[in-house]
A and B are shown apart, each in its own frame.
Chain A
Amino acid sequence: MKIKHLLLALSFVTAPLGHAQTLESASVDTLSTVEEELQTDDSNFTFTESQLGENDDITPEVIRISSNSNVYASQIGWTWSGIWFKYRALDNAYNDVYMNGVQVNNPENGRFSYSTIGGMNDAVRNKDDVSPFEDNNFSFSAMGGSTNYNLRASQMPAGHKVTLSGTNRNYTLRAMYSYGSGLSKDGWAFFGTVGYRWANMRTAAIKGTFYNSLAYFLAAQKVFNEKHSLSLATWGSPTERATAGASTDEAYWLANDYQYNPYWGYQNGQKRASRVVNTFEPSVLATWDFNIKEDQKLTTSFFIKNAKYKSTKLNYSGTNPHPDYWKRFPSYNYDVWGREGDYNYDNPAFWAAYDNWQSEPYRQINFDELYFANTQLNKIGADAIYWIEARHNNHLMTNLSSTYDWNLKWGSRLSAGIQLLSNRGSHYRTIEDLLGGQYFHNTNTYLVGDYQETSTEAMYDVNHGYQKIIEGDRYGYDYDLWNQDLRLWASFNLEKGITHSFVAAKMGGRRMWREGFMRNGLFQDNSYGKSGKARFLDGGFKAGTTINLGKGHAITAGLGYELRAPGAAVAFMCPEMNNDYVQDLSNEKVFSSDLGYAINNKWFRLNVNGYYYRISDANEWQQFYNDDSNSFSYNSLTGVEKAYMGVELGLRIKINSSLDVLALGTYSEAKYTDNTDVYWMSSTTGKINEEICHNKGMRQSGTPLAAASLGVNYRINRWYLNLTGNYYDRIYLSYSTNMRYENNLKNAGRFHAGEYDVPEQAKGNGGFMLDASIGRQFFVWHNPLSVNLQLCNLTNRRNITTGGYEQSRSNYSVTETEGSGTEVTTSPRTYNFEKNAKKFYAQGFNFMLNLNYRF
């Protein structure tokens, strides 16, 4: 009897909420166990390993949207994961993630990294997803939706479970084991899971990569009585993985491989990856659930995470040693695009480069040569010119959260919460491997020439002088970024007549600062020590309603407006060098609206939604090599104006008890609505320049802006079969700001009669993909064994683009500065950067076999 009370109490504590519930009763979503396993396992796989920012070249992470009430939102994460589909083309920063009510997004960039919960699928199955205009009892829902993971041990499934998987994707093998005790009579519950994912250089789907990830999750909960419960959870997934890079179509063609990866090479005949990511984000979450009264509860959580992130990269001070460096391509020597100025026709170098590319060692990194160069330089006491660097982005985050929830007797609910957050982001660079070299000096090589190598100006750290750097030493930059937030929110919903409505509001404050640990030679007075503190006050409101028209028909509507404080990641002009804030830094303004129509009956479930978001005064930040100034540059785009709009369709038709059909579709627009002011700083002068970026009309990249799918699900006698066809289109690549700077357009001869001829944004290929799944549940020793096989891209379409970016280089070189230096002369380059965007392509046919055994 006691345990029954406890479970009753817990069910209240953890119950998900949403006006979606009004439409749930007639749902035709009756996933079989096998089907559910398939979807949850695979979606975890695809999201955590393929998409979520695990590759430095992939622009912002996708949102793992789901919804309890919307067919479209609940299915796209699973159905369109293979193409890196982004919900409403939004950056992951617009999706809020909570754990037991405490927000876990990194405040520095606003994002949550799903890779931190990879390999612990059984622990993160229990969650509450809400779309942007669904009310809930844990947050002011974000414009890209919100998710609250319930990590209480008592809510985890009891018993043992073993999962074994084989696939030909990022990893080859996966093994997971989990055990849940359930809630004991004396109020204790325990849960633990451990998982391991593995691939080596021989088995990984993409050459030159490997995957090595361990995951653990441990949770305990003590339910003291009907009023009080304490739970504790800790998890982490130490991971080591080699990443793959995007390349140009020319490289893919020459290598005859759409999965060509330029980031690896041979050393002593063995494959070696140059870009290896090591992550470990041990986290601890403590939660006190207090049932104040039968209809009131208070959930208080404390979260702490000590995240370590290290990403290696081949760096150099000599010639670029990357095999897909533009000067190594045949088209560097001969104008394959047939423009004017084709003066290198019949150049033997064109054919020599072509012949070279036929050899695999040539189109990969030649580590042996890099070592040899460094050891030769050792003989004359010179600095190493090639090395592997490691960029560290560590975070120590603490967050205290308290949420009050009052289930009012007259059919309404009031929720409110407070969050106190502190995050210290530590950013520095170390030498991982000197590749046979002895040392090099901690100097800004971009400055050497303008300043003498030993000059104070060229020193990265004046406090240590002309300093020799060896393996393990920090060099280049070393600084902390601090974010501290105080946030309040409240939500009130009301059932009245045929309507279910809610209003929500939030407000908060943020302060941030930088603390530098190197005194940069160009900024000796404002690089070492703490910067001034920047403070922002933000907030917003949101309202939504569902009007039930009867017979399963309903109209939904939502409207919101909010101010979002910038994160420290975009707040500083050049955090690697000094303490200066971006000029004109301000809150981002977000208007959001959504209108939907839903039908929900026994055989038919339809959602049609239209949305319009407008973002104003946003801040963006980039760094890249600027050809026109012959220097590395730090670029801040301020006052960014964007609009997101589109229509979405989700339809599930139940033909009979075994067969249903699912249709999904969206057509959207996500683009810059005006040109943007830019401040950029040159690493060779330290001076800030003003520019205008002609980015009006540029689209959000790395996601199809049009997608559709039609799928059939068949379930009978514990079998589950699915066949889904997907079509993707309007895939844009990340545009180059540098190519569209006003002065650079003039240099490129793209200014005529007062008009700028702005280059079209590069696009990727869309296309059709066919996926299938088959699953069956058996009983072995009276316990269920689920077997799932997922077959993706059955037609082996390998030329569908999943993302990429335009290169930031110019089609001309600045040859001479005349007179005052304000006018330049240029000479055209044979190589055409505008035609050579770097792209990622979807994997061809791939599969995943999954076995789950519960006992």
Chain B
Amino acid sequence: MKKQSYIIALVAGVFAFASCQDKDWDIPEGIPYGNNSLEAGTTVTIKELQDTYASAISSDNYKQITDDLWLRCVVNGNDYGDNLYKQLSVQDETGGIIIGINGSDQGAFMPVGQKLLIRLKDLYIGGYGNQAQIGGLYNGGLGRMEITEWKQHVRLIMDGMAEAQDFGSMKVDTIDFDPNKTMAQQAGRVVRLSNVTISREGTPIIAPDDGSVSLVSNCVNRKLTGGNAGSKCVLRTSTYAAFKGVPVPTGPVELYGIATIYRGTWQILARTQSDLTWVK
């Protein structure tokens, strides 16, 4: 009887010991993206930055930022809709600028509205088709910076953090597109175009990849006319965009997007399907 008791105890012990190892996991605390040790020094605005490096930008050249400058900005466009490719668009109250980062899913880590503190020292700034861009060196020219470098230079500021107060009332805002504004005045900002007509060449979806329209770097440029589009304005959509299959409307519509410029032509980059207001 004693032996049986031992055996029962042994079996019961085995069952009790055999508990689950893959437990329920708690959500990690903290901000695992970026460099949380960054503390702002001398800050500049986007306008001041563009003014300082105006010649490099306008000549499609580049320069390394050697001063210990810091930028406070807010994300207004990213790759969430797969249309901005390895690019982040940021703005402050004075302007907007594009940041090239060799990494994907920036839209998840830095959604629209995310406040960023960026240490600019050692990064490169210049122009690509006269569009101002911050990045790194690639094959001897201005390109995207490596994601590891970016993470060393950026700190994500969350609402509620003490550092958020330094941003004041900075937020993403939308301005009406004006074809006569300069790059510094409008590029890198979210713009609204009203009563514009989108060209319907080829298959009537925004970004067909069936050969019916010519592609430029895997993107379709559809000319925008009428409304406030001016004479040199296109809707630029990647054939990898999540909304590439959206039908091209037959009449004038309203649309939103990040304004960029390439050698005198404004290129409007819709961020998500919701920027294309005719889609229900």
Interface residues in chain A, defined as those with a beta carbon under 8 Å from any beta carbon in chain B: 160, 175, 177, 179, 194, 196, 198, 200, 210, 212-214, 238, 240, 242, 267-268, 272-273, 276, 318-319, 347-349, 352, 356, 366-369, 371-377, 379-380, 382, 385, 433, 436, 448-453, 815-821
* A-B CB pair tally, cutoff 8 Å: 126
A352 to chain B: which residues have CB within 8 Å? 146, 148-149
B108 close to A276 (CB less than 8 A)? no
Given contacts A214-B15, A367-B28, A449-B243, contact A349 B102 (CB under 8 A): yes
- Which residues on the A side are within 8 Å of B210 (C-beta)? 817, 821
- A348 and B20 alpha carbons, distance in the complex (Å): 45
* A242 (CB) vs chain B CBs: closest residue: B22
Shortest distance in angstroms between B153's beta carbon and chain A's nearest beta carbon?
Answer: 14
Give the complex CA separation of A347 and B144 in angstroms: 12
Give the complex CA separation of A560 and B14 in angstroms: 48
- A373 to B111 Cα, complex, angstroms: 9
Contact B17 A196, beta carbon cutoff 8 Å:
yes
How many whole Å from A379's CB to the nearest CB in chain B?
6
A196 to B20, CA, bound (A): 13
10 A-B pairs besides A352-B146, A452-B246, A818-B211 with CB distance below 8 A are A179-B7, A212-B19, A214-B18, A268-B26, A348-B137, A368-B28, A379-B113, A380-B113, A449-B82, A449-B244
Pick the residue among B29, B105, B241, B245 that contacts A385 (CB under 8 A). Answer: B105
**Once the chains bind, are B109 and A369 in contact (CB under 8 Å)?**
yes
Q: Which residues of B from 1 to 41 have beta carbons under 8 Å from A?
A: 7, 10-11, 14-15, 17-22, 25-33
Interface residues of B in 86-136 (CB under 8 A from A): 102-105, 108-114
Given the complex of chains A and B, what is the CA–CA distance between A369 and B102 in angstroms?
17
Of A349, A366, A373, A451, which one neighbours B108 at CB under 8 angstroms? A373
What is the chain B residue whose CB lies nearest that of A448? B242
Once A194-B11, A453-B242, A821-B211 are accepted as A-B contacts, the answer to whether A267 and B28 lie under 8 Å apart by CB is yes
With an 8 A cutoff between CB atoms, is B215 at the interface?
yes
Contacts of A821 in B (CB 8 A): 210-211
Interface contact A319-B105, CB-CB below 8 Å: yes
Q: How far is the CA of A273 from the CA of B22 in the complex (A)?
A: 8
Tell me the nearest residue of chain B to A820, going by C-beta.
Answer: B211
Q: Is the interface of A mostly helix, strand, loop or mixed?
A: mixed
A242 to B20, CA, bound (A): 12
Q: Which residue of B lies closest to A455 (CB)?
A: B245
- Residues B80 and A433 in contact, CB atoms below 8 Å apart: no
- A352 vs B43: C-alpha distance when bound (angstroms): 29
Q: Is B279 an interface residue (CB 8 A)?
A: yes
Chain A to chain B contacts (Cβ below 8 Å), 11 pairs? A198-B17, A212-B18, A268-B28, A318-B108, A352-B148, A382-B111, A452-B245, A816-B211, A816-B215, A819-B211, A820-B211
Verify A376–B114 contact, CB threshold 8 A.
yes
Query: Is the beta-carbon distance between A433 and B25 smaller than 8 angstroms?
Result: yes
In the bound assembly, the distance between CA atoms of A73 and B47 in angstroms comes to 80
Question: Cβ of B209 < 8 Å from any Cβ of A?
Answer: yes
Residue pair B211, A372 in contact (C-beta under 8 Å):
no
Closest to B11 in A: A194
CA gap between A376 and B158 in the complex, in Å = 10
Complexed CA–CA distance, A351 and B137 (Å): 14
Are the CB atoms of A371 and B28 closer together than 8 Å?
yes
Give chain B nearest CB distance to A701 CB in angstroms.
30
CB distance from A41 to the nearest CB of B (A): 18
Q: Does B240 contact A (CB under 8 A)?
A: yes
> Which residues from chain B contact A377 at a C-beta distance below 8 Å?
108, 111
Which chain B residues lie closer than 8 Å to A817 at the CB level?
Answer: 209-211
CB-nearest residue of chain B to A817: B211
| Separation of A416 and B148 alpha carbons in the complex (Å) | 70
- Note all chain B residues with C-beta closer than 8 A to A349: 102, 146
Residues in B with CB closer than 8 Å to A816 are 209, 211, 215, 218
Decide: B108 and A374 in contact? CB cutoff 8 A.
yes
Q: Does B273 contact A (CB under 8 A)?
A: yes
- Interfacial chain A residues near B17, Cβ < 8 Å: 196, 198
Distance (whole angstroms) from the CB of B76 to the closest CB of chain A: 13
Chain B min CB distance to A444 (Å): 13
> Whole-angstrom distance from the CB of A72 to the nearest CB of chain B?
39
Contacts of A368 in B (CB 8 A): 28, 30, 32
Give the distance to chain B from A759, nearest Cβ to Cβ, in Å.
Answer: 28
Q: Which residues of A contact B215 (CB under 8 A)?
A: 816
Complex contacts, B273 vs chain A, CB 8 Å: 452-453
Chain B 31-66 interface mask (CB, 8 Å, partner A; 1/0): 111000000000000000000000000000000000
Judge whether B7 and A210 touch: CB under 8 Å. Answer: no
Q: Would you call A369 and B112 a contact (CB within 8 A)? A: no
Mark interface residues in B188-205 (1 if CB within 8 Å of A CB, else 0): 000000000000000000
